[in-house]
Amino acid sequence: MTQTAAEREEPVGSPPQDLSGEQLRWMYRRMLLIREFENTAQIRFEAGEIAGFLHLSQGQEAVPVGTCAALREGDTITSTHRGHGDVIAKGCDVKRMFAELYGRTTGYCKGKGGSMHIADFSQGIIGANGIVSGGLPIALGAALSCQMRNTDHVTVCFFGDGATAEGGFHEALNLSTLWQVPLIFVCQNNLYGLSQPWEETAFQCDLPERARTYHMPAECVDGMDVITVYGAVARAVNRARRGEGPSFIEAKTYRFLGHYVGDPATYMDQEEREGWRKRDPIPRLGRQLREWGYLTDEEAAQIRAEVEEELQAGIEFAKSSPKPPAADALSDVYVHFDHHGEPR
């Protein structure tokens, strides 16, 4: 891999005490997998192979990966329309994700959900959501469920800055502290709600300050630094598992591309874009790992080759998977009835 400006500019710092080389390499690999998954999806979308909307998150990978590194089996996440990174970080297999994007039977949602609605309930991924802020009250309920079932599981609610002006945001924050549920709000603030700069959406734009008015610990972290994100989320998860209620984390990050594939993002300032690209979280971690002796150039090349192979296999899996019969559109509406209301 070539050295970028970011690798020269960002300080390396010292290795974190609470993360092993194996964990750090997992983070590196997972971020790269997300990045290349989305790059591949973009190419296939532009080639006309994938339908619908594709909301990409290149640049934001450190947030879901740092977050999910602090979770364990049995924990739950909700995600958003820009959710590929969140669900891959939690454990989704890119084969079945590509299959979903291609609308195949082997996709996570058997072709009924697509890019915006990937879910894997077996891994606690209870759905990416096409409605901005729609996942916040649902995450509240999942966390309430963790509490009422007397588990020490936690729920992470991923959402964007765009959700913070919605009523559901306020209601979920308020109820989460009222009930002291094990919930971690992770706001991926990528600075834009579609085309609107985030600072134009509220008079009071200090999100942790807003969260603290509901009496929960809150902090703003560098969302381009996976280790920092991990640290903040791990602290919040520990509090939640101890029964100390919800926390709020704002991870400042950046969407390298437009709102969806096809959006030229003319509303984004060129200098701003270049500045954030220099802070790309993936080469940054790569350089740190090399400096700390956790990754050789050969290993980095090996990881990249593995990721590319995995994605290639994923595309082949998706393309060779059968399309569901069109009439499959009529199933999965109810558990107990067909779509006419006849008992199943």
Partner 1 sequence: MREITYREALREALREEMERDETVFLMGEDIADPFGSAYKVTLGLSPQFGTERVRQTPISEQGFVGAGVGAAVTGMRPVVEIMYIDFATMAMDQIANQAAKLRYMSGGQAKVPLVIRTQGGPGRSSAAQHAQSLEAWFAHIPGLLVAMPSTPYDAKGLLKTAIRLDDPVVFIEQKLLYNTEGPVPEEEYTLPFGEADVKREGSDCTVVATSMTVLKALKAADILEREGISVEVVDPRTLFPLDIETITASVCKTSRVVVTHEAVERCGFGAEIVAQIAQTAFGYIDAPIQRVCAPSVPPPFAQHMEAFTMIDEHKIADRVRRLVTGEL
Q: Give the N- to C-terminal CA distance of the chain in Å, as an integer.
A: 55
**Does the protein bind partner 1 through residue 119 (CB under 8 A)?**
yes
Of 83-91, 233-241, 276-284, 332-340: span binding partner 1 (CB under 8 A):
332-340
**Does the protein bind partner 1 through residue 129 (CB under 8 A)?**
yes
Of 4-12, 81-89, 129-137, 278-286: span binding partner 1 (CB under 8 A):
129-137
Cβ 84 to partner 1 shortest distance, Å: 16
Q: Nearest 5°: phi and psi at 76?
A: -120, 145
Using alpha carbons only, give the angle 186, 93, 88 rounded to the nearest 5 degrees: 15
Structure tokens at 205: 């734009």
**Does the protein bind partner 1 through residue 92 (CB under 8 A)?**
no
Please name the residues in contact with 238: beta carbons below 8 A apart, sequence gap of 6 or more: none
**Would you say 20 or 151 has its CB closer to partner 1?**
151
**Does the protein bind partner 1 through residue 72 (CB under 8 A)?**
no
**Does the protein bind partner 1 through residue 241 (CB under 8 A)?**
no
**Would you say 111 or 286 has its CB closer to partner 1?**
111
Binding residue for partner 1, selected from 68, 89, 175, 187, defined by CB under 8 A: 175
Cβ 16 to partner 1 shortest distance, Å: 32
**Does the protein bind partner 1 through residue 343 (CB under 8 A)?**
yes
Query: CA torsion 327→37→163→121, rounded to 10°?
Result: 50
CA distance 151 to 14: 35
**Would you say 175 or 221 has its CB closer to partner 1?**
175
List helix spans (H) across 18-112.
21-46, 62-68, 84-90, 94-101
Buried b or exposed e, range 91-123, using 16+ CB within 10 angstroms: bbbbbbbbbbbbbbebbbbbbbbbbbbbbbeeb
**Does the protein bind partner 1 through residue 94 (CB under 8 A)?**
no
CA distance 17 to 8: 23
Of 47-55, 122-130, 187-195, 271-279: span binding partner 1 (CB under 8 A):
122-130
**Would you say 48 or 343 has its CB closer to partner 1?**
343
Q: Contacts with partner 1 in 132-151 (CB under 8 A)?
A: 134, 136-146, 148-149
**Does the protein bind partner 1 through residue 331 (CB under 8 A)?**
yes
CA distance 44 to 50: 6
